[in-house]
């Protein structure tokens, strides 16, 4: 490999070089041009493919489990969100783990916001009317008046 690279850098002709400056000088498979279908071991760096170490993250590995997040009570989701934020702020995590934690944090934040919105819609103020009857009025926290 280095002989071919040295030869191409010195301007010497190389039978394997097709003139593409971005050509792969690796002795391993280079993809469909070498008859190796895309998505096969030809797309994986040789050392990883030989040892079986190439790992492709499944989409589910990085997408938070929506059903699991949706099943959390507000207090649980908020506590976990605070923990995620603290870990991300501390740093020192590998990139993939940081991304996964960030995605989990976004899902937790959206869940907490949804729960708060739902709770806000349910908050009502009971007002005693003449004669002792109670009447439920919607409470608007923005202006402090009942609806």
Token pair listed for 92: 């020192």
Residue with tokens 């007002």: 127
What would the pLDDT profile of 102-118 be if each residue is shown by its tens digit? 999 999 999 999 999 98
What would the pLDDT profile of 51-97 be if each residue is shown by its tens digit? 444 444 444 444 568 789 999 999 999 999 999 999 999 999 999 99
Token pair listed for 42: 């030809």
Rounded-to-integer distance, Cα 142 and Cα 125, Å: 14
What would the pLDDT profile of 6-52 be if each residue is shown by its tens digit? 444 445 454 444 555 555 545 444 444 545 455 444 444 444 444 44
Rounded-to-integer distance, Cα 66 and Cα 7, Å: 55
């Amino acid at each position: 490999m280095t002989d071919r690279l040295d030869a191409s850098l010195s301007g010497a002709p190389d039978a394997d070089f097709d003139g593409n400056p971005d050509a792969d000088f690796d002795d391993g498979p280079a993809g469909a041009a070498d008859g190796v279908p895309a998505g096969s071991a030809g797309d994986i760096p040789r050392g990883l493919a030989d040892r079986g170490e190439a790992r492709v993250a499944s989409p589910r590995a990085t997408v938070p489990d929506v059903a699991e997040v949706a099943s959390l009570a507000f207090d649980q989701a908020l506590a976990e969100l605070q923990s995620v934020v603290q870990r991300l702020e501390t740093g020192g995590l590998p990139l993939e783990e940081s991304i996964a934690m960030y995605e989990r944090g976004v899902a937790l934040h959206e869940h907490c916001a949804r729960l708060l919105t739902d709770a806000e819609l349910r908050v009502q103020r009971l007002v005693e009317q003449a004669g002792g009857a109670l009447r439920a009025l919607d409470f608007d926290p923005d202006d402090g008046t009942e609806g």
